[in-house]
Structure 1
């Protein structure tokens, strides 16, 4: 009997490669998210620093020009924080979508692997039946040929 081969093996291999690529993309998105979160923390720290500096100068004496400079600078930092928060939200959504895609591909792969197992079981049972038939024929031929020589 010929060697077992799963007819959809190439499809299974391609799906496994796709899932590896998806995992790499997910890893990349997670790295982007971490970098964005670090940027947000840095911007918040910078804002706090500038706000403290502004409050210290305001308690003493500050010119109108300096005051408007600080207000614009802090407003700019807040705008950057807002943009980074939006970027973070988009990344979180992309990550969740990628996770769902990976889950669905895992389900597909699992179904292909179960199909492969079933085909292998059928192949093994057919192989076992062929071996049993061969043994039966061998034994019956031995007994028949032994009867002729008696």
Structure 2
């Protein structure tokens, strides 16, 4: 009997390549989201440090100009955090959307894998049946030779 050939191998390979591409996109989007989260965390750390420096300077006595400088630094950090937070929310939405795309692509590949497995099982059953028929043919030919001979 001929070798097993899954009729949709090309489709399955194509879907698998698409899944790999979509997974790569998801990983890049997750990396961007993580980068934004790290930047926000760093800015929050910077904010705490500048706030502490300002508190210490105020305790020691500072000029209004120095106080204004600290305030401007803090406001700048707040603005950056707000801007990055908006970018982070958009990045999270893109990650969520891409996750849905990857799940759908994975389901398509899984469906084709299950179909391939079913076709392979059917093929194996056909091979077994053909082998049984061949054995029966040999047995009956042997039996005919013994009775004729």
Normalising by structure 2, what TM-score?
Answer: 0.85
User: 1:81, CA displacement in angstroms?
Assistant: 0.6
The 5-angstrom pairing of residues 1-150 of structure 1 reads 1-58=1-58, 60-63=61-64, 65-149=65-149
Gaps of 5+ in 1: none
Gaps of 5+ in 2: none
CA distance in 2, matches of 1:91, 1:35: 10
- Three-state SS of the structure 1 residue aligned to 2:2 is coil
Count of residue pairs the alignment pairs up: 148
CA distance in 2, matches of 1:53, 1:14: 58
- Three-state SS of the structure 1 residue aligned to 2:5 is coil
RMSD: 2.0
CA distance in 1, matches of 2:88, 2:48: 21
CA distance in 1, matches of 2:73, 2:133: 89
- Three-state SS of the structure 2 residue aligned to 1:2 is coil
